[in-house]
Amino acid sequence: MSLLVQKYGGTSVGSVERIEAVADRVSRFHGEGHDLVVVVSAMSGETNRLIALAKDIQDQPDPRELDVLVSTGEQVTIALLSMALKKRGIDARSYTGGQVRVLTDSAFNKARIQHIDVDRMQADLQARRVVVVAGFQGMDGQGNITTLGRGGSDTTGVALAAALKADECQIYTDVDGVYTTDPRMVPKATRLEKITFEEMLEMASQGSKVLQIRSVEFAGKYKVPLRVLSSFDEGPGTLITLDEEINSMEQPLVSGIAYNRDEAKITLVGVPDMPGVASKVLGPIGAANIEVDVIVQNVAANNTNDLTFTVHRNDLARAKAVLEANLDSIGAKQVLTADNIAKVSLVGVGMRSHAGVAATMFETLAKDNINIQMITTSEIKISVIIDERYLELAVRGLHTAFGLDKKSTSVAE
């Protein structure tokens, strides 16, 4: 029998009916002899309702008090789920983050977990109790309530699994696994049986919204096997695991295709070709708390360069203003911007040992007449920036070119 940590997100516990369904699932696992720690989010909509209340009072709510406020969302869910389990004759006990000693630093709204006391949970598990824990929250060394920031319930699940040395951390959500790409865009997208932590990280950072980056990092660091499954259906989901646990025979060249429409492009024309210029450009951007994603510099012949980088679309106007204010000190001529771009990324640990992935990618895009504006690569990822209009065309073409399409059963005519 295994020790399982199961995490249920907001839509999975979004109503009394959904909570009852979660209780059914938990009691089935419990009946099979598994030990269970269940981490839950706030009922969907609840966190937003609470934040709206806070914003009615303060435009920028006090960070400490905001955590006191929003942490009530998960507290409601743990109580209701524990009641639903009790109704099924299962001894369950709920704990807030503070009660189960999820000790964090004091960075309100985005705290980081420092330590988890497992004694109390282990005593409950020993007594065959189901332990129900409020995700997303903890307590700092002074006993203040903290939250881990949005999506932090996944992190709670993984951290508990690591601390308890659980056999698996199961993340229940509204999709039934990780797909080769977004099935809403590519109907032929297929669910992956397995994916490595590294690939999952790249998928997440490139726009796949299934799991929070932080929880994947955490799981990889502590080698916690992570499984993404649907709380609405049955099915094996996708296992996120260590590289070596995936048989190299089954290792595809490309595991998935991620995309992102949230970026905008900024080009600084006529930057002097001299040391320190890139930091002169990106220093003020960083100081303005604007994150930069892809950066490309083209060396030109006339001692000047064009420096191009991407930022989140919401930051575009601010980034442009920052650069224009610094144009003289940088010694550049002009700032150009474009927000009609999209990023497409191929992700796969198979790339490490195979040449030719980039060539196939560029050929595929060229065949569809899609111009590549920027390219960046890492060991297990190739990203290109293209015109947003061609995004769907590009993703579908690449999905086919790399053999990811669903094998449809042939239908007799």
Residues in contact with its own copies by the rule CB under 8 A: 16, 19-20, 50, 53-54, 56-58, 61-62, 64-66, 68-69, 71-72, 75-76, 78-80, 82-84, 86-87, 93-94, 96, 98-99, 143-145
120 versus 280: smaller Cβ distance to its own copies = 120
61 versus 207: smaller Cβ distance to its own copies = 61
Q: Which residues sit opposite 95 in a β-bridge?
A: 133
Residue type at 293?
D
**Are 391 and 259 contacting, i.e. CB atoms less than 8 angstroms apart?**
yes
Angstrom distance (rounded) from CA 258 to CA 207: 6
Residue with tokens 């997303």: 136
71 versus 241: smaller Cβ distance to its own copies = 71
Closest separation in Å from C-beta 46 to its own copies: 10
**Are 242 and 181 contacting, i.e. CB atoms less than 8 angstroms apart?**
no
**Are 166 and 37 contacting, i.e. CB atoms less than 8 angstroms apart?**
yes
Q: Which residues sit opposite 145 in a β-bridge?
A: 139
Helices (H) then strands (E): counts for the chain: 12, 20
Angle formed by the axes of helices 63-87 and 16-31, to 10°? 60
57 versus 274: smaller Cβ distance to its own copies = 57
13 versus 175: smaller Cβ distance to its own copies = 13
Closest separation in Å from C-beta 223 to its own copies: 31
Closest separation in Å from C-beta 134 to its own copies: 9
Angstrom distance (rounded) from CA 219 to CA 217: 5
Other Cβ atoms less than 10 A from the Cβ of 139: the count is: 22
108 versus 309: smaller Cβ distance to its own copies = 108
Q: Which residues sit opposite 113 in a β-bridge?
A: 104
Closest separation in Å from C-beta 122 to its own copies: 16
Closest separation in Å from C-beta 124 to its own copies: 12
Q: By C-alpha distance, which of 273, 267, 268, 197 is closest to 238?
A: 197
Closest separation in Å from C-beta 4 to its own copies: 22
99 versus 360: smaller Cβ distance to its own copies = 99
